[in-house]
Structure 1
Amino acid sequence: MSVISLVVQEGNPVTEDTIRELAQKINGGMTFKDPQDITDYKSILAAFHDSAQSILAMDDYVPPSLSPDLERYPRGEISYPKIGSSENPLGGWACKFTIKDKKNLSRKGLLEGKTVVLKDCISVAGVPCTLGTDAIQPPWVPFVDATVVTRILEAGGIIAGKATTESMCQSASSFSSSTGPVDNPYGPGRTTGGSSSGCAALIADGSVDMAIGADQGGSIRMPCAFCGLVGLKPTFGLVPYTAIASNEWQHDYAGPMAKTVADVALLLQVIAGADGLDDRAGAGSPFPTDVPPYSERLEVPNADPSAPLKGKKVGILKEAFEMPVLDPRVAEKVKEAATRFRELGAEVEEVSIPLHSIAPTAWMTANRCVGGRTRLGHQAGHRQYYQNDLHNAIYPMKQEVWEKFIPATINSMLNCLYVWDNMPGLYGKAMNKTMEISHAYDMALAKYDCLVLPTVAFVANTHPSPDATALQKIMKSVGQGLNCCPFNGTGHPALSLPIGTLPPAKEDWLTETDGELQLPVGMQLVGKWWNEEGLFQLANAWEKKYDWKSL
């Protein structure tokens, strides 16, 4: 380890007591036997302090590709529709505005005329980004456009606004945003799922054509399952996460949401490809010019129209149907939908991957170890563009900020601190087990074109009461995404497809008429790394053959 300088400026705050206090923070408390060591380390740390201060005093760097072209893509007037109003009946809008290509250079682009909403964790220069919380005051206003924003605009898309996200993107339900709950269009007072809650509500009620959500443990797929939509968590690194607020680097994904497989494929085609600023894009990730034309490959080449999936093999993942809290009616509905692939020419059989049963625990422990550090302000370890303005708006954290965080956010911090103090070897073990689990999925996917699982464990449940305790709020989504989060850890692409409806379980009725509700059920298809094309072909064939609302 090199030391750049030992020159110390006048007024440097580092003392020998500083060294003693820091040593006490190492694994329960360390001491120095030789007093000279304290003096020497004090000199080294003091010099480091001055070097660090010199970096902090410099102007930050913003990559030119993230600077917005305000002449070509001017920001329209921003409005904030009131929840429950005719403009925002479900609470899905965080804010509304219009951004499109004023110069019309994108004519005949893939998204020409399509309206797109962005989850409110995605940076749009000049537009407040609340992250679903009022803990950041005044609201943070980014000065850059996320890579996906520029790509949508260049393709002729019209960005219609920002969609409500759950607080700090950390709730799988849809009641935690500081602006209020987001209601399911198929059942008022019920969850849309989170944390891309507003995105799902706005597509489902027809306000927009498509959306970009973000997914750290199912946050694209769960809302799509609850709201009758198609949603894709892409292969890890396929879509740049640049200038999107991060929860945990290795679990962060941005992806498309829409009513149809075709629109999801179209949007993915526009936003996919490495941008050179996000080191999630590793080996295998294409550059934008090499992204497959997903929207043109929705059908298997030279397929027999009467058996469009002939030659494909579908594996029904046994352990996915044995997860705790899984509603047996959902399990039956998804298995029934999976067997319908036979009518499309595919082979369908059950496959066992025992490690799937521990995959949620491996994901959760790894997420708490490092995602919790993100929540504590310890961003580090990656070659990417850091949004230091957001970081500085939260940290150093004050009591009033802490008090406005939801239980899930506070829990992640406490879990993180506990783990690193008491189980410092946990993260490495969790990551190795995740690798083992990933290899097990790979072995199965060498035989099958996709694995089939229930997306979520039950249909949309009710929001908790306003006076619910922290535990009561968390209980609303316990077990909900056990079949989603494993693939955030392993990186495999996963798509949720609507395949039928069910009424809510009787114990979750608000009134007797709730028994007449028909709430969407989602089936999840998981494929090989970089094989989104294969998932689209399977899902598109199923979608074209069956009307999910009648099943």
Structure 2
Amino acid sequence: MLWSGLFRRLGGYGRVVVQRRGKGRYSAPAVRTPSLQQLARAADRFNLNLDQAELQEFQNVMKGTLESYQRVDQLVQPLPPVKWPRTPGWRPQPKENPHNAWYWRTEITGAPSGKLHGKTVAIKDNVAVAGVPMMNGSRVLEGYIPEYDATIVTRILDAGGIIKGKSVCEDLCMSGSSFTSATGPVLNAHDNARSSAGSSTGSGTLLALKEVDLAIGGDQGGSIRLPAAWSGVVGHKPTHGLVPYTGCVPMDITIDHIGPMARTVADTALMLEVLAGFDGGLDPRQPPNLTVPEYTSQLTGDLSGMRVGLLREGFGLVTSEADVDDMVREAAHKLTSAGATVDEVSVPLHYPDGTHIWNAVAIQGCTQIMVERDGVGVGWKGFYPTSMVDALARGYNSRANDMSVTLKLLTLLGEYLNKNYGNRYYAKGQNLGRALTKAYNEALDTHDVLMMPTVPYKPVKLPDGDASISEMCHQALGLIHNTCPFNVTGHPGLSINAGFSQGLPVGMMIVGRHFDDATVLKVGHAFEKIRDSNS
């Protein structure tokens, strides 16, 4: 039969292409030769004055070059492996998902033994799990099913973990609150009328509800630490590059982090042991000489000789609530009973300049990578998820009006800056990031860790249906002042529950030196022991 064997389905994604099978057989062009009208429009965009004859010559030259795209389209690209069997799962009904924290349910069992044997895990829905729908909180990506596993998914399953499903995240993760997801708001486990923070919204809530033992969070401006704080659980943003980001939806390669969340520091440390480490060059965020210590063995509770610095500029913000500041200060001083000394340290660049620097990097960086470049950008070595690129490109063309207000804000502002100021302020923000890093490093030369409130105020009520754009944007983006600077600098940061005020959880953040995540976890564990022994 003429068409027999000519079609193949790629990687479970469903894109059907025509393959060349033998000399003389037809092969649909991968990239069509541009028309003279298309070339004229491209010339106008770059202020090139080309006449029709010149455009014709350029068109003829391009025909030969485009043969490369035909061949590249025919070649089979390497993908991260899918080692463990699974079924697609199901979308949970409201009655089995009352807090709206699950996007998708499944049951993927890994190795019969390992560090995570028997522990249940929720995967944030910006992380690819092969064969399982991935929406990333957005109508733009709705219907996409990846054909590859993120590196951390493989590591969880190799270690015996049981993946129970995908947790809801904010619309393309562009929110620190919990109401922008296309599937609806995620409710706080301690007060259903309040936000659970974001963008790893579902992960924090599911842990607080004890529906899973462990969860994955992603963090570009605080999105692991914020929901950990407002859900009363533990969330650790690892040192930039410690945990491979391969197979997760990028926002900007310089601020992307992925990491563990749990109810205890011990479980968080155990999960980090599994997640961390070099993944063979698939993630250029990682240095190749990574060593992963046994974090759990260092959770001794003994902080003798350690010096804790209360970051002065992390308290008394314009948005700070006095009870939150007081609770975190009191919690930090309890570490003296474990042998630590606690005093104040100042990093003037932290606030508000740390937020300003993050804005300069994140707004244009995320616009260009997530929106203009369909989720990958260019110029870095590593794994590029081409099926996701295709899905995002189609989604932006057909579902742009369904984006959240925060994503629309990012797109409008990023495009304005790109068109009118180029990359000047993104570049300057990255340069200033080195000064910010140096300032924190100097404070960490004299102190083992820095401490401050994760969020300077308690969980707020979810917005009403008639809330204005400005009200929603303020709520979604106004709580990141203490967290976002450390995405620019890449320092590890852990949020742990310092206690409850008016029945609502208060998070305390512990920040350490680059690749000294062990000390951050050790201090968090020591505080946890003191806190729980007094409860």
TM > 0.5 between the two?
yes
Report the CA distance between 1:89 and its aligned residue: 2.0
- Once the two structures are overlaid, the 10-residue window that deviates more, 161-170 or 337-346, is 337-346
In structure 1, C-alpha distance between the alignment counterparts of 2:216 and 2:309, rounded to whole Å: 29
Q: 1:281 to 1:374 in 2, by over 3 A?
A: closer
Aligned to 2:431: 432
| Matching of residues 226-375 of structure 1 within 5 Å | 226-283=230-287, 286=290, 290-299=291-300, 308-357=302-351, 358-375=353-370
Tell me what 1:182 maps to: 186
- After TM superposition, give the deviation of residue 539 of structure 1 in Å: 0.9
The separation in 1 between residues aligned to 2:288 and 2:314, in whole angstroms, is: 28
8 Å CA contact 2:406, 2:476 repeated in 1: no
Structure 1 residues 375 and 264: alpha-carbon distance in aligned structure 2, compared to 1, 3 A threshold: same
Identity percentage of aligned residues: 35
Structure 2: distance between partners of 1:319 and 1:191 = 25
- Across the aligned residues of Structure 1 and Structure 2, the Cα RMSD in angstroms comes to 2.3
> Compared with structure 1, are the counterparts of its residues 219 and 549 closer, same or farther at alpha carbon in structure 2 (3 Å cutoff)?
farther
Corresponding pairs, count: 501
- Mapped contact 1:226–1:521 kept (Cα < 8 A): yes
User: The residue matched to 1:497 in structure 2 has which SS?
Assistant: strand
AA partner of residue 208 (structure 1): V
Structure 1 Cα separation of the partners of residues 224 and 53 of structure 2: 56
The CA deviation at 1:285 is: 5.1
Q: Deviations 1:294-344 (Å, cap 9, x if unpaired)?
A: 1111127xxxxxxx2121011111111143312222122212212222232
Counterpart Cα distance in 1 of 2:61 and 2:413: 33
CA contact (8 A) 1:236 1:253 kept: yes
Residue 177 of structure 1 deviates from its aligned partner by 1.6
Tell me, yes or no, if the aligned pair for 1:499 and 1:520 is still in contact at 8 Å.
yes
Deviation at 1:273, TM superposition (A): 0.3
Task: Measure the CA separation in 1 of the matches of 2:533 and 2:236.
Answer: 18
> Do residues 462 (structure 1) and 456 (structure 2) align?
no
What pairs up with 1:473-492 in 2 under 5 angstroms?
473-492=472-491
Instruction: Look up the SS of the partner of 2:473 in the other structure.
Output: helix
Contact 1:501 1:548 in 2 (8 A): no
152, 155, 172: which one pairs with 1:151? 155
The corresponding residue for 1:513 is: none
Give the deviation of 1:36 after TM superposition. Answer: 8.0
Question: 1:95 — aligned with what?
Answer: 104
1:375–1:409 Cα contact (<8 Å) kept: no
Unaligned runs of 5+ in 1: 1-8, 301-307, 504-517
Q: Following the alignment from structure 1 to structure 2, what is the Cα–Cα distance between the partners of residues 170 and 548?
A: 38
Structure 2 segments unaligned to the other structure (5+ residues):
1-28
Deviation string 1:365-422 (CA, Å, 9 cap, x unpaired) is 1111121012324121111111111110121555541011111212222222212222
| Aligned position for 2:26 | none
Corresponding residue number in structure 1 for 2:385:
387
User: Offset of 1:37 from its aligned partner?
Assistant: 6.6
Q: 1:421 to 1:112 in 2, by over 3 A?
A: same
Give the match for residue 6 of structure 1: none
Counterparts in 2 of 1:285 and 1:210: CA distance versus 1, 3 Å: farther
Structure 1 residue aligned with 2:496 = 497
Q: State the partner residue of 2:49.
A: 32
- 1:51 corresponds to which of 57, 64, 68: 68
> Normalising to structure 2: TM-score of the pair?
0.88
Residue 11 of structure 2 is matched in structure 1 by: none
Match of 2:508 in 1: 523
- Give SS of 2:85's match: coil
Question: How far did 1:434 drift?
Answer: 0.5
Aligned to 1:303: none
Q: Secondary structure at the match of 1:135?
A: helix
TM-score by length of 1: 0.86
Matching residue's letter, 1:117: A
Q: Which residue of 1 aligns with 2:164?
A: 160
In the alignment, the residues of structure 2 paired with residue 23 and residue 431 of structure 1 have an alpha-carbon distance, to the nearest angstrom, of 31
The CA deviation at 1:68 is: 1.3
- 2:414 aligned counterpart, secondary structure: helix
Stretches of 4+ aligned residues off by more than 6 angstroms: 33-37
Q: Using the alignment, how far apart are the partners of 1:46 and 1:364 within structure 2?
A: 42
**Counterpart secondary structure, 2:342:** strand
